[in-house]
């Protein structure tokens, strides 16, 4: 079950009560580092430049979320769903994304994934152009059609 930690300021409805396609308005909300957001429903949420360092986002639903320039250093993203998420310029240094994270079609242009654990991650059609993957573990990651940092496409 998803945690309803955010409410849309326009409708007053929690994320789970929002109409399909409605985006949670959580802009301007201060999120404490190391927050426990396990299983949170953050579909379509605007978390641009948010400090989520050390946060537990395991099994969070974050499809279409905007995490541009977000600080996710050391965050636990195990099992999180970030399909089509915008992570351009995000800092994922040392993030735990092992087993189950789904970054299908995610935009990670210029993201920092130094020492990130991406073992068994689903990275199909994700864009890592210009991203820093130094020390990242991509063992057994699913990468069909993935754009690598140098611009090449992984087949």
The whole-number pLDDT of residue 154 equals 75
- CATH number for the domain spanning 73: value is 2.160.20.80
Q: Is the pLDDT of residue 15 over 90?
A: no
Any domain includes 23: no
Q: Is the pLDDT of residue 102 over 90?
A: yes
Hey, what long-range contacts does 58-66 have (CB within 8 A, 24 or more apart)?
A: 59/100, 61/2, 64/23
Helix or strand or coil: residue 41? Answer: strand
- What is the number of structural domains in the chain? 1
Structural domain range at position 141: 32-155
Any domain includes 43: yes
* Per-residue pLDDT tens over the stretch 139-151: 999 999 999 998 8
Q: CA–CA separation, 28 vs 47, rounded Å?
A: 9
Any domain includes 16: no
- Identify which has the larger pLDDT, 19 or 25: 25
């Amino acid at each position: 079950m998803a945690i309803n930690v955010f409410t849309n300021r326009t409708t007053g409805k929690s994320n789970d009560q929002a109409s399909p396609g409605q985006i949670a308005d959580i802009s301007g909300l201060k999120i404490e580092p190391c927050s426990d957001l396990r299983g949170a429903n953050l579909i379509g949420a605007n978390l641009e430049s948010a400090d989520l360092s050390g946060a537990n986002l395991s099994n969070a639903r974050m499809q279409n979320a905007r995490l541009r320039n977000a600080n996710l250093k050391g965050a636990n993203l195990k099992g999180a769903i970030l399909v089509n998420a915008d992570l351009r310029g995000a800092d994922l240094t040392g993030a735990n994304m092992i087993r189950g994270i789904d970054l299908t079609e995610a935009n990670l242009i210029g993201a920092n994934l130094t020492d990130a654990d991406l073992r068994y991650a689903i990275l199909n059609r994700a864009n890592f152009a210009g991203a820093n993957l130094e020390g990242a573990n991509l063992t057994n990651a699913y990468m069909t059609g993935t754009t690598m940092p140098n611009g090449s496409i992984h087949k």
